[in-house]
Structure 1
Amino acid sequence: MERQKMKSRVFKVASAQSWDSFVTQTSSVVVHFTASWCRPSVAMNPFFEELALTYKNILFLLVDVDEIKEVASKMEIKAMPTFVLMKEGSQVDKLVGANPLEIKKRIDEAFG
């Protein structure tokens, strides 16, 4: 039996304007700051998709730092991957590096 592909629950941010809209209209947000050339970032994408399916009450966003430099700069992103947890439009936690267990732990702590 072939496994059916599920629709992604991770939203790719396309512009600074859509960033503002996402983070101001949603109370709980987890953001994966990534770059297509960064292997650890790309390797985290399937795990990030799993998180989005697990935590249905949280919005999961993907921001390519090369495509939306002003958001990466505003959020002080210095390395990829970086994961930012936000509540009510404000950053509550930031994790630099590809550490799936730590990301899950921090999501549970911030939004649990």
Structure 2
Amino acid sequence: MEAQNEVSRSRVVRVQSVESWESFMAQAKSHGSRVFVHFGASWCVPSLAMNSYVEELAMNYPDILFLLVDVDEVKEVASKMGVKAMPTFVLMRDGSPVNKMVGANPEEIKKRIELLV
């Protein structure tokens, strides 16, 4: 039951379309928000393995918007952001990328988030 409650309280927002991506980016830019984007795929084991870690980060950094983009579902966004491998993590400020990292490396991701805040 507790695991089910955790799922319902997810702070990581799944991007469903190019339109929703553009909406999130416009909001982030207008509010000066920081955004963390996890680009992954349902078939990519390292991406799936990082989901719970990204969820934990989202709980610990409530002032950052955490997004999940499935590269197969929203190809245009992945292409626009230059994503060529999974998982890729992009940190953004004011709607613009400020840091990009490829690979499942929790310690490095945490360091880069600390630089963003």
In angstroms, what is the RMSD of aligned CA positions? 1.1
Q: Give distance in 2, aligned partners of 1:52 and 1:36.
A: 20
Matched, 1:92 2:94: no
Residue in 1 that maps onto 2:16: 14
Match of 1:110 among 110, 113, 116: 116
Residue in 2 that maps onto 1:23: 25
Q: Post-superposition, which runs of at least 4 consecutive aligned residues in structure 1 deviate over 4 A? A: none
Q: What's the TM-score once normalised by structure 1's chain length? A: 0.94
Q: Which moved further from structure 2: 15-24 or 54-63?
A: 15-24
How do residues 1-112 of structure 1 correspond to structure 2 at under 5 angstroms?
Answer: 3=2, 5-6=5-6, 7-26=9-28, 27-111=33-117
Q: Give distance in 1, aligned partners of 2:2 and 2:16.
A: 30
Q: Give distance in 1, aligned partners of 2:89 and 2:41.
A: 13
Amino acid at match of 1:96: V
Whether contact under 8 Å (2:46, 2:87) holds in the other structure is yes
Amino acid at match of 1:104: K
Amino acid at match of 1:39: V
Q: Which segments of 5 or more consecutive residues in structure 1 lack a partner in the other structure?
A: none
Q: What's the TM-score once normalised by structure 2's chain length? A: 0.90
Return the offset for 1:23. 1.6
User: Equivalent pairs: percent with the same residue?
Assistant: 64
